[in-house]
Chains A and B, each alone.
Chain A
Amino acid sequence: MTDEITPELFEHLVELAAFAFDPDEADYLRRELNNQLKAIHQLENVPLPDDIPPASHGVTYTAQTKAALRADEWDPCDNPEEILAQAPEVDDGYIIVPDIPQTELD
């Protein structure tokens, strides 16, 4: 049986997820993914009548249980500086990150 997640597909997922792995880690992760997919494939055997809708939440919300939308009233946060203090690199109130290169068109 060939693996559903091939090394190539795995590399693509790694790229999407912004990861980088050494070969051992990659082997372990790819093997576990393929094993999990074997379990997931059980879902294909489930008889699913057309009238079964997807459930984004298990509990159904009603007009009585659903919260109202938020009124448009300003309530400022009292400690924005504590949020900023969590950032690894800050300069003059800005959070600093490395640059994103661009190519100029001729």
Chain B
Amino acid sequence: MTDYEVVIGLETHIQLNTTTKIFCACKADSWEEPPNSNICPVCTGLPGVLPVLNEAAVAKGALLAAAMHSEIRLTSFFDRKNYFYPDLPKGYQISQFDMALGNGGYFDVPMPDGAVRRVSITKLHLEEDAGKTKHEHGVRYVDFNRCGVPLVEMVTGPDLRTADEAAQYLIRLRQLLRWLGISEANMEKGHLRCDANVSIRPVGSTVLNTKTEIKNVNSIEAVRAAIDKEIERQIEVVESGGRVEAWTLDWDDAHNRLNKMRSKETEADYRYFREPDLLPLELSEAWRDGVLDSLPELPLARRARFMDEYDLPEYDADILTGDKPLSEYFEAAVKAYGGDPKAVSNWIMNEVLRMRNELGISADELTLTPALLVEAIRLVDTGTINNATGKSLLGKVQESGKSPAQIVEKEGLAQVSDDSALQDAIDKIMAANPDEVASFRGGKEGLLGWFMGQVMRETRGKADPQLTRELLQKSLKGEG
């Protein structure tokens, strides 16, 4: 049996998080609003209307182009892509064809095996979104609320080899879009949509065989499932002596299956031509330089730097660069702390992340700022409080907005590190538990932990664990 290599290219549509639509002043985000309420003559394609380009869409598109190492063209053009579809009110989509805002580029995607795959970008252009249709009771319902939302269409070369790689590409793209602040990139809400081009070839071959296009693979799971299903289908077709045809397939998420779209709908000649209602988009070099200058350090670079500069393990660096606010949070804390970055990483990865996830907010929205976190860590470091108190203290800081020192003082959380007070507590516990003392002395040294717990309870958690352990051992062994 032949071994097959899979060739995948992804076509993504990215909704930019501008305030308004790309060619009119309706809201860009009208999620869950009543149908056809966020519309105007322009985005519903009434006779006589004209598009007026939104500057913010250009700026955000250019920022993405910069992040993709694309050339930002100083002169680009909008074109009409003509076809009939009920979600496309003008009967053409205003898009960019041969002279788009971005030219070329690539996206480095770290794969789970540690390798980084460079995925080429073959298209990067601005366009308008179509409306939404849903099919019910044998008819189609059309809602233009989303019509005209700015999109970047970004297409990769045939550079991905497995469904999992395709999923990784999307995961990393989603991370990047949020990092740049240009899209909410919420796949469920359609901010990031994906079509996959899939073909197979015998291992070793370099030809590009006929591909199919799978539309509507709009979650990471769907990308995996749909591509795997299509690979399986193509292999079956070829193995049974058939040929893969250039079909357009529609991924039906609810039923986990592919539907073939009617060929008449897909064999289109879009008859592209320059949009006469818009003038060429001309950008100055100064404007372009401004975009390039505003490009932040990107996730992958920051991850590498965290490993290099702070000596973090890849695991930590990856998580801490999961999103931009978190990575900035970490770095601010490290700077404020001045000590071992790994210690800061541990605190963030264990405590801060849990808190952030539970609250469902981003790191920069925490009341527990990096400075307050560091103050708490220092209290632990200096022995003013113990580790457990430190952890619970973070929650109190987040809740009250008070500084760790204030809370420790007010609640008397400073740890008991006074020998005599601790010894009193130990003596009291030993006296109350003679059986356990005997067992310990009989060799069950594992009971030390139980005694530690008793002391902590007695001191309401404030006992200095190091000192308690020492004193307990002395007392239990009869050395006290």
**In which size bucket is the chain B interface?**
35 or more
B interface residues, Cβ below 8 angstroms from A = 18-20, 25-27, 34-41, 44, 46, 52-58, 84, 86, 133, 135, 138-144, 233, 249-250, 257-262, 265, 269, 274, 276, 279, 282
**Are the C-beta atoms of B55 and A80 separated by less than 8 Å?**
no
Given A69-B54, A69-B55, 18 further pairs, Cβ under 8 A: A56-B276, A57-B279, A67-B52, A68-B55, A69-B52, A74-B26, A75-B25, A76-B26, A83-B44, A94-B36, A94-B143, A95-B36, A96-B139, A98-B140, A102-B260, A104-B257, A105-B259, A105-B260
Assess whether A83 is in contact with B40, with CB atoms less than 8 Å apart.
yes
Closest Cβ of chain B to A83, distance in Å, is: 5
Contacts of B139 in A (CB 8 A): 96-99
Contacts of A101 in B (CB 8 A): 262
**A14 to chain B: closest CB distance in Å?**
13
On whether A16 and B269 interact (CB within 8 A), knowing A70-B25, A73-B20, A83-B40, the answer reads yes
6 A-B pairs with least C-beta separation: A77-B40, A72-B56, A75-B25, A69-B55, A94-B141, A93-B35
In the complex, the answer to whether B140 meets A96 with C-beta atoms within 8 Å is: yes
Given the known A-B contacts A69-B55, A93-B36, A94-B35, are A100 and B265 also in contact in the complex, defined by CB atoms under 8 Å?
A: yes
Tell me which residues from 24 to 80 in chain A have a Cβ below 8 Å from any Cβ of chain B: 56-57, 61, 66-77, 80
Task: Decide if A100 touches B262 in the complex (CB within 8 Å).
Answer: yes
Binding site for B on A (CB under 8 A): 16, 18, 56-57, 61, 66-77, 80, 83-84, 86, 91-105
Interface pair B141/A96, CB less than 8 Å apart: yes
Q: How far is the CA of A34 from the CA of B293 in the complex (A)?
A: 56
Contact B274 A56 (CB under 8 A): yes
A-B pair count, CB < 8 Å, reads 118
Q: How far is the CA of A75 from the CA of B38 in the complex (A)?
A: 11
- The one of B19, B44, B133, B265 that contacts A72, using a Cβ cutoff of 8 Å: B19
A80/B38 in contact, CB under 8 A: yes
Q: Chain A residues near B86 (CB, 8 Å)?
A: 95, 97
Q: From DSSP, what is the main secondary structure of chain A's interface residues?
A: loop
Contact between chains at B27 and A83 (CB < 8 Å): no
Known: A77-B26, A83-B44. A105 touches B249 (CB 8 A): yes
* Complex CA distance for A68 and B281, rounded to whole angstroms: 10
- Enumerate chain A residues within 8 angstroms of B27, measured Cβ to Cβ: 74, 76
Chain B residues lying within 8 Å of A96, measured Cβ to Cβ, are: 139-142
Q: In the complex the two chains form, is A105's CB within 8 Å of B257's CB?
A: yes
User: Are A99 and B138 neighbours in the complex by a CB distance under 8 Å?
Assistant: yes
B141 pairs with A91, CB closer than 8 A: yes
| Nearest A residue (CB) for B41 | A83
Contact of A80 among B40, B258, B259 (CB under 8 A): B40
The answer to whether residues A83 and B39 also contact, given A72-B55, A95-B142, A99-B139 and a CB cut-off of 8 A, is yes
B395 to chain A, nearest CB (A): 39
Taking a contact as CB atoms under 8 Å apart, the answer to whether B250 and A73 are in contact is: no
Contact status A92-B35, CB under 8 Å: yes
Q: How far is the CB of B134 from chain A (nearest CB, A)?
A: 8
CB-nearest residue of chain A to B264: A15
Given the complex of chains A and B, what is the CA–CA distance between A86 and B89 in angstroms? 13
Q: List 8 contacting pairs A-B, 8 Å CB cutoff, sorted by A.
A: A74-B25, A74-B26, A80-B37, A84-B39, A93-B35, A95-B36, A95-B141, A100-B265
Question: In the assembled complex, which residues on chain A have CB atoms less than 8 Å from the CB atom of B133?
Answer: 97
CA A83 to CA B26, docked complex, whole Å: 14
Q: Is the CB of B19 within 8 A of A77?
A: no
CA distance A93 to B139 in the complex (A): 14
> How far is it, in angstroms, between the C-alpha of A66 and the C-alpha of B279 when the chains are bound?
8
* Closest CB in chain A relative to B455 CB, distance in Å: 62
Chain B residues with CB under 8 Å of A80's CB are: 36-40
Closest partner residue, chain A, to B255 (CB atom): A104
A70 contacts B52, CB within 8 Å? yes
Contacts of B276 in A (CB 8 A): 56-57
